[in-house]
A and B are shown apart, each in its own frame.
Chain A
Amino acid sequence: DAGITQSPRYKITETGRQVTLMCHQTWSHSYMFWYRQDLGHGLRLIYYSAAADITDKGEVPDGYVVSRSKTENFPLTLESATRSQTSVYFCASNSLRTGELFFGEGSRLTVL
């Protein structure tokens, strides 16, 4: 089925460990985004990508790394996880025509 999928859906890790959250979309949308969702802050943009090999920082990029070697994949890596990165992470892709964002179901990350 067409859509956007994230994995893992749930992850528990420890401070200092590296974690990668995966995102895959089947629409061939050019733009992809990573948001984090926290109580009291709503959704905040971490990184986005306009196309393969083109990425740029969003509002809260510190502590995160992204890559986009293929149009359909946009992994998010926490190189050394901190407790403040405990959050729900959403990947999204963007219709060029309307700007509408299509979201994955989210990845809930807990850093102990």
Chain B
Amino acid sequence: AQSVTQPDIHITVSEGASLELRCNYSYGATPYLFWYVQSPGQGLQLLLKYFSGDTLVQGIKGFEAEFKRSQSSFNLRKPSVHWSDAAEYFCAVGAGGGGADGLTFGKGTHLIIQP
């Protein structure tokens, strides 16, 4: 069965500092990988996705993620965070192609931005 682990429940970063959120997955085939962001009281918005090709993918809001097959990881990064980046971040894995099982999500990482 597929699974996603986000080892950090909370992360606190100073505004302007760099950010890395960790994500490890378990999946039997080639994974489709996603990062979503959830602002308070809102639904989930897609930040970026990886299906194939270049293992470094760029997303919205200045985020990027790198797929490392050997480490089963898909870590999210941003070089300089802004106060508006404070939110909940979810990593997800799926089969792609509108798979019947949807996506399997990690439990999320809560990002706090210090002024």
B96 touches A99 (CB 8 A): yes
Asked whether any CB of chain B lies closer than 8 Å to the CB of A103, the reply is yes
Mark each residue of chain A from 79 to 96: 1 if its CB lies under 8 Å from any CB of chain B, else 0: 000000000001010111
A105 touches B98 (CB 8 A): no
Mark each residue of chain B from 1 to 45: 1 if its CB lies under 8 Å from any CB of chain A, else 0: 000000000000000000000000000000010101000011111
Residues of chain B within 8 A of A106, CB atoms compared: 41-43
Interface of B, helix, strand, loop or mixed by DSSP:
loop
With both chains docked as a complex, state the minimum distance between the C-beta of B10 and any C-beta of chain A, in angstroms.
12
Residues of chain A within 8 A of B97, CB atoms compared: 96-99
Number of interface residues of B (CB under 8 A): 27
Residues of chain A within 8 A of B90, CB atoms compared: 42-43
Contact of B99 among A29, A90, A99 (CB under 8 A): A99
Asked whether any CB of chain A lies closer than 8 Å to the CB of B107, the reply is yes
A94 touches B102 (CB 8 A): yes
Number of interface residues of A (CB under 8 A): 29
CB-based nearest B residue for A30: B98
Contact of B101 among A30, A45, A103 (CB under 8 A): A45
CB-based nearest B residue for A104: B43
B43 touches A94 (CB 8 A): no
How distant is the Cα of A97 from the Cα of B95 in the complex, in angstroms?
11
With both chains docked as a complex, state the minimum distance between the C-beta of B49 and any C-beta of chain A, in angstroms.
6
Sorted from nearest, which 7 A-B pairs have the closest CB atoms?
Answer: A96-B98, A42-B107, A103-B43, A99-B96, A43-B105, A103-B44, A105-B43
